[in-house]
């Protein structure tokens, strides 16, 4: 199941979504329902292991992606989907 978080950046409403790709979870920024750019990736194995210990790495990564965009540390330039 995909997790989604919505946030504002200037006058834009953006989403952060996770996407499972093989053995990883990729964190993507979406605009108007379309992927704009990949922010980061997590190991699925490490994410599941940490969740078993009460630590939600996916939630932290999604929050970090939103903070990076809002602080201008991560540009929203369109890139080819990996």
Q: What is the mean pLDDT of each run of 10 residues along the chain (82 residues)?
A: 91 95 96 94 97 97 96 75 40
Question: What is the reported pLDDT for 78?
Answer: 55
- Count of domains observed in the chain: 1
Phi, psi of 44 (to 5 degrees): -60, -40
pTM of the model: 0.87
In a domain, 43, yes or no: yes
Cα(72)–Cα(82) distance, integer angstroms: 23
Q: Quick check: is 64 in a domain?
A: yes
pLDDT of res. 2: 85
Residue 28 lies in a domain: yes
Range of the domain at 60: 4-70
81 part of a folded domain:
no
Residue 65 has phi, psi (to 5 degrees) of -65, -45
65-to-22, 26, 35, 36, 53 alpha-carbon distances in Å? 21, 11, 14, 13, 23
């Amino acid at each position: 199941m995909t997790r989604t978080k919505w946030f504002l950046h200037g006058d834009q409403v953006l989403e952060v979504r996770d996407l499972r790709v093989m053995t990883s979870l990729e964190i993507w920024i979406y605009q108007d329902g379309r992927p704009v750019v990949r922010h980061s990736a997590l190991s699925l194995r490490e994410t599941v292991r940490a969740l078993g210990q009460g630590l939600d790495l996916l939630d932290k990564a999604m929050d970090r992606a939103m903070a990076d965009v809002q602080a201008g540390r991560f540009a929203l330039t369109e890139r080819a989907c990996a």
